[in-house]
């Protein structure tokens, strides 16, 4: 993952087709997993889970907690 000054977030290791499948599932609930994309979806899910864990740790830092009270 990489962000830059213009506010664009680049998700490395997640191709456009895989991300599109993830968004389709999120917004429609439609099953998007098939033999052709199962491995890339699993890799993307792992990457996104790691990002969520990092975000949770960041927001739980004592210096950050003050901003939310």
Q: What is the pLDDT of residue 26?
A: 92
User: How many H-runs (helices) and E-runs (strands) does the chain carry?
Assistant: 3, 2
Say if residue 18 is exposed, middle or buried (CB neighbours under 10 Å; 0-12, 13-18, 19+): buried
pTM: 0.67
Domain segments of the chain as ranges: 2-68
1 vs 35, residue with greater confidence:
35
Q: What is the pLDDT of residues 4-37, one digit of tens each?
A: 677 777 777 899 999 999 999 999 999 999 999 9
pLDDT at 59: 75
- pLDDT surpassing 90 at residue 38: yes
Which residues, at least 6 apart from 37, have a Cβ–Cβ distance to it below 8 Å? 17, 18, 21
- CA 67 to CA 34: how far, in whole Å? 43
């Amino acid at each position: 993952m990489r962000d830059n000054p213009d506010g664009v977030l680049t998700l490395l290791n997640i191709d456009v087709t895989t991300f599109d499948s993830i968004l389709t599932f999120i917004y429609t609930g439609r099953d998007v997993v098939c033999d052709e994309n199962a491995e890339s979806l699993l890799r993307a899910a792992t990457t996104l889970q790691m990002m969520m864990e990092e975000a949770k740790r960041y927001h739980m830092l004592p210096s950050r907690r003050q901003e939310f009270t």
